[in-house]
Amino acid sequence: MTKRVLTTESGAPVADNQNSATAGVGGPVLLQDQHLLEKLARFNRERIPERVVHARGSGAYGYFEVTDDVTGFTRADFLSAVGKRTETFIRFSTVADSLGGADAVRDPRGFALKFYTDEGNYDLVGNNTPVFFIKDPIKFPDFIHSQKRDPFTGRQEPDNVWDFWAHAPEATHQVTWLMGDRGIPASYRHMNGYGSHTYQWTNAAGEAFFVKYHFKTNQGVRSLSSEQAAELAGQDNSSHQTDLLQAIERGTNPSWTLYVQVMPAAEAADYRFNPFDLTKVWPHSDYPLQRVGRLVLDRNPDNVFAEVEQAAFSPNNFVPGIGPSPDKMLQGRLFAYADAHRYRLGVNHTQLPVNAPRTAVVDNYGRDGLHATRNGARHDKNYEPNSYAGPAQTDAALSAPLAIHGWTGTHAAPAHTKDDDFFQAGELYRLMSEDEKGRLVANIAGGLSQVTRDDVIEKNLAHFHAADADYGKRVEEAVRALRED
């Protein structure tokens, strides 16, 4: 077997990888030691900046297999035939904490899925909850600032968390999810995933439908109490990463069944509440779940830093037959996600192996820039249109057009007949068992009682009273009892 030779980045052989070059035995280190300087410089730069949100994550490769015919709703090629398989990469994550945070914490979980389809990569970027805290992207930076570490104290402050929620009544539904029993998943394998947003599907005839994605875990939903989570986080800071890694390594491949809710586009305008409001779900009695296929995870990444941390998901990566809806939060994310990756990873982040298409051919006029690997041949042109047989447009839209009307300007979300910030939060509360209600109330009171301003507490209590009279009464009594201790 030929012995491998250690080299510098330029390919020159390394004579000594154990001792730095010095001015004499025991003397100062020499600036001319190219291998030393290159090694230290690379080490300084081998970790990219962490994500502002969803910093702490785990990932795995797998496949998606179609089990049911959905060609009546979409012409997406990867969904075109029962039995068709598409390679995937998924990244699970917490939202608020930094890369050094614990996995077992009360926080929404990211559920970001990349399909390496024959027509290009399709990214579905969702969470483990079907709703979110806000409905307009202009509030997103403020929301995240309120949930992350305070710039003065350097820790998450209950005053900040609850003050923002006090001024965002639409958050009551998601707060009820977060503080309930599903607020801390036992593992990434034991939680559902949701596209959360409303998306558009278009079939071969050009008919448009609005859809919501539901990935139901086949391992069963399991969650942790606050006490169990605190103990687990103390035992293994990377508990969910450990669980996912070991499950796949031993061949216990986790899987999810994908269902969709399908709304004919014509029904959206007159639906009883705004179907594009991210703080609301569509009741299954109105739009039942329809099975599509299954997601299976069967391979761990070889390098967490190169794959999981450099994986870039963007909800504007659509394929023919799938497109956006007027969901304002989705519309904001269409820009924000890709821009975040351009900042963290560079303008050519789509050329990194984990982000590059597997079977689809990339052919465009994007060249140069940091870390570019596709710069074309000497006679290739970098403009379009041209007379040199360069790639040209197809004139076939990926999805159906969205109808618009009215005046430009800043507008509140359109009000439908049954739009309300509190009704669905109350419905969720009323679905809970008595034990679940008790834990929900205790979780909310534990945080809200730490708030120092009475007016902020009162505003939040008003939201719970508006959702359900019993809900509000029990939270108010629990907060009062904790503050009197």
Assigned token pair, 2: 């030929």
Helix extents (H) in 213-302: 226-235, 239-249
| 92 close to 98: Cβ distance less than 8 angstroms | no
Q: Which of 121, 127, 274, 355 is catalytic?
A: 127
Question: With 0-12 CB in 10 A as exposed, 13-18 as middle and 19+ as buried, what is 177?
Answer: buried
Q: 54, 173, 214, 341: which one is catalytic?
A: 54
Q: What are φ and ψ of residue 376, in 5° steps?
A: 80, 165
Strands (E), 321-458: 322-323
Residue whose pair of structure tokens reads 């690997």 in the numeric block: 373
Beta-sheet strands, E only, within 320-474: 322-323
Backbone phi, psi, residue 34, to 5°:
-60, -40
What's the rounded Cα separation, in Å, for the pair 91 and 355? Answer: 12
Looking up tokens 């278009």, which residue turns up?
A: 202
The answer to whether 54 is a known catalytic residue is yes
Longest dimension (CA), the chain: 84
**DSSP track, 177-198:** HHHSGGGSBS-STTS-EE--S-
Contact 26/19 with Cβ under 8 angstroms? no
Which of helix, strand or coil describes residue 94?
Answer: strand
Q: Report which residue type is found at 104.
A: A
Residue 270 phi/psi, 5-degree rounding, is -105, 10
**Residue 127 among the catalytic residues:** yes
Residue 199's SS3 state is strand
Which residues belong to the active site? 54, 127
